[in-house]
Structure 1
Amino acid sequence: MSTIKLGNPAVVGLAGFGLTTLLLQFHNLGWCGLGPVVAMGFIFGGLTQLIAGFLEQKTGNNFGFAAFTTYGAFWIGLGVIWILNYFNVYTSSTTDVGFYLIAFTLLTLIFLAATLFIHKAMTITFATLSVGFILLDLVHFGFPELKTLAAIILIVCAMSAWYMLAGIVLNDVAGREILKMGKSYMKKG
């Protein structure tokens, strides 16, 4: 049996998820342009989360595998939509993007249900992501006044992801629990 300690791929997946989510909300609030979001969407949100997901699969973590690869694909897909729109190739309307978001909203709700068996920090992250997606769905289907509220909720989501990242890293290097994740809402079995 191997005694080699492996790194937890969730740390880079959560870092990429949190950073790209945060940057997109800065853009949605009008604080920055789309350039940094596209760049980080392809690299840190997209590629890094895909890699983290594939590594989660090797550890046997189906949730991490599914979630990180799903959101990695989300960011790459969104980046492709933005690039295609920019160059007027297969342009997507606001409602086209809305349908894209609805599909990911539905996947997120499945993940939210699964988080009830993991821990409170994960549930908070996916609950805020679910609410944020629903609000962005509504933004794309005629309720633009909800954009600021969606951005604020998704900033909380990004910070929640980074809280889990900080907990994994700090708890590991300290050799004790510094940041608590909270017990699951539902018991397994």
Structure 2
Amino acid sequence: MVVGMAFAVGGIAQFVAGIFEFVAANTFGMTAFCSYGAFWVSIGLMFWPSSGILSAYEADALPDALGLFMITWCVFTFILFLATFRSSAGLVTLFFLLTMTFLLLAVGYFQDANVAIIKAAGCFGILTALTAYYVGAHGLLTAESAPFSIPNPSLATKAKL
């Protein structure tokens, strides 16, 4: 079930959302959605039993390989986090939490799959998901589409003329 969700919702749906962001000329949205769509497809492939990817590693090498995979995504996510500073408080929070999630996953795997650290990463992942739902709801619940809206303060600076 998790592999199917990784492919369908995480992978395909996010990648398609990234294509729509490209059409809308939103470079940040396109980069984030397409990249994380690719992340979820790769996770799905790794954990798909018949792919043989995980079984190709020796038992003692697998945690380090997963740690390297996660630290790579942590660095990429940190770069996106830096790009959110002039967007909204919700996006800054979202990408901070996602960066911390990947960092904790990387540290947990590098510590021989330390269960406590990986569980802490899971807690940050849940906070990340809740924040993503909030940011998404803010985008949907506008004055034009709903009887109320939810706050998400803008961090954009006004251009000097």
For the criterion TM > 0.5, the same-fold answer is yes
**1:187, CA displacement in angstroms?**
2.8
**1:88, CA displacement in angstroms?**
6.8
Larger relative contact order (C-alpha < 8 A, sep ≥ 6)?
1
**CA separation of 1:114 and 1:169: change in aligned 2, threshold 3 A:** same
Determine whether 1:40 maps to 2:5. Answer: yes
**1:150, CA displacement in angstroms?**
1.1
CA contact (8 A) 2:45 2:51 kept: no
- In structure 1, what is the equivalent of residue 123 of structure 2? 152
Determine whether 1:103 maps to 2:72. Answer: yes
Identical aligned pairs, as a percentage?
28
RMSD: 1.7
Separation in 2, partners of 1:37, 1:128: 22
Determine whether 1:164 maps to 2:129. Answer: no
Separation in 2, partners of 1:159, 1:167: 12
**CA separation of 1:88 and 1:121: change in aligned 2, threshold 3 A:** closer
- In structure 2, what is the equivalent of residue 187 of structure 1? 157
- In structure 1, what is the equivalent of residue 145 of structure 2? 173
Q: How many residue pairs end up in the alignment?
A: 150
- 2:94 is matched with which residue: 121, 125, 130? 125
Separation in 2, partners of 1:160, 1:174: 20
**1:188, CA displacement in angstroms?**
6.7
- In structure 2, what is the equivalent of residue 89 of structure 1? 52
**CA separation of 1:89 and 1:114: change in aligned 2, threshold 3 A:** same
Q: Which runs of 5+ in 1 are unaligned?
A: 1-35
Give the TM-score taking structure 2 as reference length. Answer: 0.86
**CA separation of 1:167 and 1:138: change in aligned 2, threshold 3 A:** same
Determine whether 1:59 maps to 2:28. Answer: no
**1:183, CA displacement in angstroms?**
2.0
**CA separation of 1:118 and 1:88: change in aligned 2, threshold 3 A:** closer
Give the TM-score taking structure 1 as reference length. Answer: 0.74
**1:113, CA displacement in angstroms?**
0.2
CA contact (8 A) 2:90 2:153 kept: yes
- 2:103 is matched with which residue: 134, 138, 151? 134
